Amino acid sequence: MSRRMVLGLLFLSFIIPFGVLIYLSVSTQWYYPALVSHPFTFSNWLSFFDGRSGLLKSTGLSIFISLMVSMIATSCGFFISRGIVYYTSSRWWLVSAYFPYVIAPVVLAVMLNYYFLQIGLSGTVFGVMSAQILITLPYAVILFYGFWNRNIRNFENLVATLGGSFFDKVMHAFLPSAKGLLVVCFFQCFLISWFEYGLTQFIGIGKVETLTIMVYRFVAESNPYLAALAGTVLIIPPIILLFVNRKFMFRKGLGI
């Protein structure tokens, strides 16, 4: 089998599930013994845009939560990692950043649920965002930890001795060197937040209906057509982000 054929088959096996997903999203029923659903219709998509399915609201909410979470985690993680590298001699801060991933996010949610209930954050958008930040922030800290090397520190010192403020350090010493890594971190945190189910379901107690929650809900309701529609919508933003950021995602030497 030629290399081109193997690649073609691999491409097909990758693309077919997406095709099925899109196909199901334009279907409403299927009767035995037909091979495919019938008739072809845009009614699911119309219900998405006119808001009847509730998916438009969930999409907006998911975009809002993921953008906020990724922005906060990326910016805070950047400066927290700097603090850890510059001002602490213990590696325990870095080791503790792995904690949410060692125990799994949903287990973390179970552990934190008591506190979220006590301070009234359960079932709120802010609560879900806070919980997602608890898993994306450590990721950002781990990602940026290696960035703060001697060269960056020398750049910082140079800006300081030339008379620059902390803002000038950020603009001229940090951002030009870190922009690729910042974009990658933002993208990764967005994906973590966007596809997060267990933690969102647990802290949101079903009241915070993100797009991921809706996909699972439609699956549980045995509604493959709306589940496919929600699934199709779910993969669109990451694909757009991946397309926009491909030059950063696949570039070598990001200083990680």
Partner 1 sequence: MIEISGLNKSYKQEPVLKNLGFSHPGQKTLSILGESGSGKSTLLKIIAGLEEADGGDVRIDGRSIMQMKPKDRGTVYLYQEPLLFPHLTVAENISFGLKFKGSDSKTVEKDTLRMIGQLKLTGQEAKYPHQLSGGQKQRVAFGRAVIIHPKILLLDEPFASLDPATRQEMQVLFKEIADKENITSLFVTHDLKEALMTGDRFGIMVNGRLTLHENREAFIEDSDTGVKKEIEFWKNLS
* DSSP labels, the chain: --HHHHHHHHHHHHHHHHHHHHHHHTB----TT-SS-SSB--HHHHHHHTTTTSHHHHHHHHHHHHHHHHHHHHHHHHHHHHHHHHH---THHHHHHTHHHHH-HHHHHHHHHHHHHHTT-TTSHHHHHHHHHHHHHHHHHHHHHTT--HHHHHHHHHHHHTT--HHHIIIIIIHHHHHHHHHHHHHHHHHHHHT--HHHHHHHTTTS--HHHHHHHHHHTT-HHHHHHHHHHHHHHHHHHHHHTHHHHT-S----
Number of residues binding to partner 1, judged by CB under 8 A: 15
Contact call for residue 149 and partner 1 (CB under 8 A): no
Q: Which one, 48 or 174, has the nearer CB to partner 1?
A: 174
Q: Which one, 43 or 151, has the nearer CB to partner 1?
A: 151
Contact call for residue 43 and partner 1 (CB under 8 A): no
Task: Give least dist CB 186 to partner 1, A.
Answer: 19
Contact call for residue 89 and partner 1 (CB under 8 A): no
Contact call for residue 155 and partner 1 (CB under 8 A): yes
Contact call for residue 29 and partner 1 (CB under 8 A): no
Segment near partner 1 (CB under 8 A); pick from 26-34, 104-112, 153-161, 210-218: 153-161
Task: Give least dist CB 92 to partner 1, A.
Answer: 20
Q: Which one, 54 or 180, has the nearer CB to partner 1?
A: 180
Residue from 5, 176, 247, 250 in contact with partner 1 (CB under 8 A)? 176
Q: Interface residues with partner 1 (CB under 8 A)?
A: 151, 154-155, 157-158, 160-165, 168, 172, 176-177
